[in-house]
Amino acid sequence: MVIDKLSDISPDLLYEKGIRFVVLDLDNTLSPYGDFNVELEVKEWIVKAKKMNMDIVVLSNTWFLRALISRFIVNVPVYYMALKPSPLALWKVLIRYGYSPDETCVIGDQIFTDVLMARLAGTSFVLVKPLSRRDGPHTKMFRILERSFIAKKILSSVK
């Protein structure tokens, strides 16, 4: 599923689809790259999903300090240096929280990290538009690849 921003998909809809575990991306999904600002509607989205008894974690390729500060802003566990698109960190949180890939949805702004990781682990995914045009150095390369047929292949999914 491809949407504009996180708040465009309601936690209710995810819940109806059987999702109980949401794995969020940080940079350009929760807050703009290089920025700690998290919009109120994003915070409210997280509070609502938690109230529905969904578990939420953030899985990011970012470094320790940014993860630590973000953890206090969004008030959910933030796992850093996840090395996405490797599904290893995702498998780890699935085991730790006790969820199956069927109950899990990855939400992020990048095809070659977030979506590819979700496909490799067999979870569903939601692709959001990046919050800002600024990207990290590695992401710039991936953004070029996102226009390729490989990206369309990764995106084409029954989930």
Residues that bind Mg ion (CB under 5 A): 25, 27-28, 109
Sign, Cα dihedral of 58, 59, 61, 67: positive
72: Cβ contacts below 8 Å, ≥ 6 apart: none
Shortest distance, position 26 Cβ to Mg ion, whole Å: 7
131: Cβ contacts below 8 Å, ≥ 6 apart: 5, 28, 29, 31, 32, 33, 109
> Measured between alpha carbons, how far is residue 99 from residues 52, 96, 108, 132, 151 in Å?
16, 8, 19, 31, 27
Residue nearer to Mg ion on the CB measure, 25 or 55:
25
- Nearest CA-CA partner of 82 in 119, 30, 121, 117: 117
Shortest distance, position 121 Cβ to Mg ion, whole Å: 17
Residue nearer to Mg ion on the CB measure, 15 or 77:
77
Residue nearer to Mg ion on the CB measure, 11 or 130:
130
Shortest distance, position 51 Cβ to Mg ion, whole Å: 25
What span, in angstroms and rounded, lies between the C-alpha atoms of 66 and 5?
A: 21
Shortest distance, position 157 Cβ to Mg ion, whole Å: 19
Residue nearer to Mg ion on the CB measure, 86 or 102:
86
The three-state secondary structure class of 48 is helix
Residue nearer to Mg ion on the CB measure, 96 or 129:
129
Shortest distance, position 80 Cβ to Mg ion, whole Å: 13
